[in-house]
Amino acid sequence: MRAVILASIAIAAYRNARRTDLDLIATYHQLDRAVRDHERTGMITAVLAELDQSTGILQVISAGHPSGIVLRRGRVVTVLPTPTALPVTLGDRRPPVVITEALEPGDHVLLYTDGIIEARDRDGNPFGIDRLTEFTRQALADHVPAPETVRRLVHAILHHQDDRLQDDATVLLLHWLGPPRTP
């Protein structure tokens, strides 16, 4: 129940930050303060990201999770640095750093939590970054749409760990088509 309460506080703080148009650093601090005000010992990891759809500028703060991967024309072109911030409630100890990446039309961005790459099979072998990258790269090469790629990826991860989640496992695959066309 404690985790549910902390997550609810963090989500509410995030929504409030977005509604008031705070930038990523201010959003991170708002989450940090909201959770810390409720419970100092609680800790939440997160990946905060913002994409300017008109320019393709992606900004990311990784608070205790991998930041992500940028794929272009079927190849990994950037592995975003991580971590760039401490988990929420530890934000007063070190300022967060925003990573900025300029996307090109057609780029895919794969954001994921550590529970994805740390998913272990019966023998203790992790799903791993190489398997994650290759799975995604192959799906994109086969022109599988992003939602279907994620669905298949989730099934592959569950299958890898015998259908038992061992940690939080969240993945997001973004496909930026380019700036909106003017009429």
The per-residue b/e assignment along 31-45, b for 16 or more CB within 10 angstroms, e otherwise, is bbebbbeeeeebbbb
All structural domains of the chain with their residue ranges:
2-175
Q: What's the pTM?
A: 0.88
**Whether the predicted pLDDT of 52 surpasses 80:** yes
Place of tokens 């190489």: 130
Percent of the chain with pLDDT over 70: 100
Give the model confidence (pLDDT) of 100-111 as tens digits. 999 999 999 999
Cα–Cα distance between 172 and 101 in angstroms, integer?
17
> At 175, phi and psi to the nearest 5?
-120, 110
Classify 2-175 by CATH class: alpha beta
CA 35 to mean position of chain CA atoms = 19
**For 138-181, how does the pLDDT look when each residue is reduced to its tens digit (9 = 90+)?**
999 999 999 999 999 999 999 999 888 777 788 999 999 999 88
